[in-house]
Structure 1
Amino acid sequence: MTTHRRLVLALQPDMLAICRLEPTAYIGNDVLNGNFVAITKTDEELSIICPQENMPEEAIYTKGWRCLRIEGPFSHDTSGILASVLAPLAEAHLSVFTATTFDTGHVLVKEENLNRAIQILTQTGHVVRSENKATVPYAIQ
């Protein structure tokens, strides 16, 4: 089932890494530098999404991710926000990684899939803009 909610997504400038550390690992302040950083801790792991140049040396990681921020904020009782972005990407067999904040959601796609993801989202009716608010064409140069 695909929802038909039209959203505006902003392409964030940083190239990101998704990192895994032990749950008791120390995080230096430099990890927090950048346009987007997300930290999640469980009793089993510490996960960090951060700019590649700031990732902890001891982390297990994947690099080369780009972030599309869904422009919000949204009320916490609003449903279907992430689904309206994730469903068309899943139908196209694109892998994503998500992170949410109090106000909105963030969808990460691999750099090599970014143009295709933007094309799919645009064809679905969403608007994708660069961080400077210009509409992003299908091909990012």
Structure 2
Amino acid sequence: MSRMPRHLMEHPEDVSIVRLPGGAEPEFEWAHGPFASLTRTPDETSVICPTAAVPPAASAEGPFKVVEVAGPLAFGSVGVFAEILEPLVAARIPVLGFSTFDTDWVLVPSDAVHAAADAWRRAGLVVTPTSLTGGTH
């Protein structure tokens, strides 16, 4: 029995990842938006936030487009990231991937998002546009 192809939702908003010192607390004014993530380790604090909100002196990479794996995914799902990342590895597209409780996310450099979508479609995945702020484009 074949399964339905994996569905990816491409969001149009630009985001960046900001590196702060370990234990740093980002200021709420810029570390939020329709899409934001905070990760702390002993060595660094990383914040994903809208590119327009990144403080001028911050150490940041971006802009990226956010690609969401349609979910929610079963918590014990195996191989989802491999299925998503293998076509991008073959196309030599660098990404940042991470998971939330319900699904997986991939940040694709904004200038490579069309090439990524083409690689995913060639691999049999479905890619559709959407918006983090509501509605479709």
SS in 2 for 1:29: coil
Aligned to 2:37: 38
Aligned to 2:54: 55
TM-superposed CA distance for 1:36, in Å, is: 1.5
Aligned to 1:76: 75
Aligned to 1:103: 102
TM-superposed CA distance for 1:33, in Å, is: 3.2
Aligned to 1:139: none
Distance across 2 between alignment mates of 1:126 and 1:91: 15
- Answer whether contact 1:31 1:50 (CA < 8 A) is retained: yes
- Answer whether contact 1:21 1:58 (CA < 8 A) is retained: no
Distance across 2 between alignment mates of 1:87 and 1:118: 13
Q: Size of the alignment, in residue pairs?
A: 131
Aligned to 2:86: 87
Letter in 1 for 2:82: A
Q: Which runs of 5+ in 1 are unaligned?
A: 135-141
SS in 1 for 2:29: helix
TM-superposed CA distance for 1:32, in Å, is: 4.1
Q: Counterparts in 2 of 1:16-35, with a 5 A limit? A: 16-35=15-34
Query: Which 10-residue stretch deviates more, 103-112 or 25-34?
Result: 25-34
Aligned to 1:121: 120
Structure 1 outlier segments of 4+, above 4 Å:
none
Q: Scaled by the length of structure 1, what TM-score is found?
A: 0.84
Change (3 A) 1:5 1:124: farther
RMSD over equivalenced CA pairs, Å = 1.8
TM-superposed CA distance for 1:39, in Å, is: 1.0
Query: Which 10-residue stretch deviates more, 18-27 or 30-39?
Result: 30-39
- Answer whether contact 1:18 1:49 (CA < 8 A) is retained: yes
Distance across 2 between alignment mates of 1:97 and 1:5: 25
Q: Which runs of 5+ in 2 are unaligned?
A: none
- Answer whether contact 2:23 2:40 (CA < 8 A) is retained: no
TM-superposed CA distance for 1:5, in Å, is: 7.4
Identity of matched residues, %: 28
TM-superposed CA distance for 1:24, in Å, is: 2.6
Q: Scaled by the length of structure 2, what TM-score is found?
A: 0.86
